């Protein structure tokens, strides 16, 4: 794994990168960076990803280049480090299954969700440690 943090607009990353962010199982995506993901990737059909079942907390759903990490049940809830870790593991599995070698993301779970970046960064590094995946964290 190659891990980099840089000041850059996430949505200007080359098309070879999949972009990751956190959402709730109700897929409201009405605040924070999720609004930009919803508009940029036209993520309206996301609620129907799991055969009309609710999205599963701790799971990652790929739509186009967007990796949607479900870290909480409702948009007004807060994730835990456990649910975030489960979703990151699910994202790693998708990357390995689909041959994704480049990821870009904001400081996931740390904006409106209030998790601490230091801990989240260590989770990401631990989960992806044995992979060849390049991860770029974009901050503005």
Q: How confident is the model at residue 46 (pLDDT cuts 50, 70, 90)?
A: low
Q: How confident is the model at residue 40 (pLDDT cuts 50, 70, 90)?
A: confident
What was the pLDDT predicted at 44?
62
The answer to whether residue 113 is catalytic is yes
Among 8, 42, 62, 72, which one carries the catalytic annotation? Answer: 72
The answer to whether residue 121 is catalytic is no
Encode pLDDT of 52-111 as tens digits: 677 899 999 998 999 999 999 999 999 999 999 999 999 999 999 999 999 999 999 999
The boundaries of the domain holding residue 133 are 2-139
In the predicted model, is pLDDT for residue 45 greater than 60?
Answer: no
Domain count, the chain: 1
Threshold 0.85, pTM exceeds: yes
What was the pLDDT predicted at 28?
86
What torsion, rounded to 10 degrees, do the Cα atoms 106, 22, 76, 6 define?
-10
Among 7, 9, 92, 113, which one carries the catalytic annotation? Answer: 113
Q: How far, in Å, are 32, 61, 92, 130, 132 from residue 22 at the CA level?
A: 10, 10, 14, 23, 23
What was the pLDDT predicted at 115?
98
Nearest 5°: the CA angle 119, 88, 130 is 85
For residue 60, give both structure tokens: 């990652």
3-state secondary structure at position 111: coil
Domain containing residue 98: CATH number = 3.40.220.10
64 DSSP assignment: T
């Amino acid at each position: 794994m190659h891990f980099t943090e840089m000041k850059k607009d996430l949505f200007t990353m080359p098309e070879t990168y999949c972009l990751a962010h956190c959402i709730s199982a109700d897929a409201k995506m009405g605040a924070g960076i999720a609004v930009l993901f919803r508009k940029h990737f036209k993520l309206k059909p996301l609620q129907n990803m799991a055969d009309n079942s609710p999205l599963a907390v701790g799971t990652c759903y790929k739509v186009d280049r967007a990796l949607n990490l479900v870290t909480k049940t409702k948009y007004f809830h807060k994730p835990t480090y456990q649910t975030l870790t489960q979703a990151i593991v699910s994202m790693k599995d998708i990357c390995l299954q689909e041959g994704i070698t480049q990821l870009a993301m904001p400081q996931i779970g740390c904006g409106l969700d209030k998790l601490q970046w230091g801990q989240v960064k260590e989770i990401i590094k631990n989960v992806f440690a044995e992979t060849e995946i390049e991860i770029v964290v974009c901050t503005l």
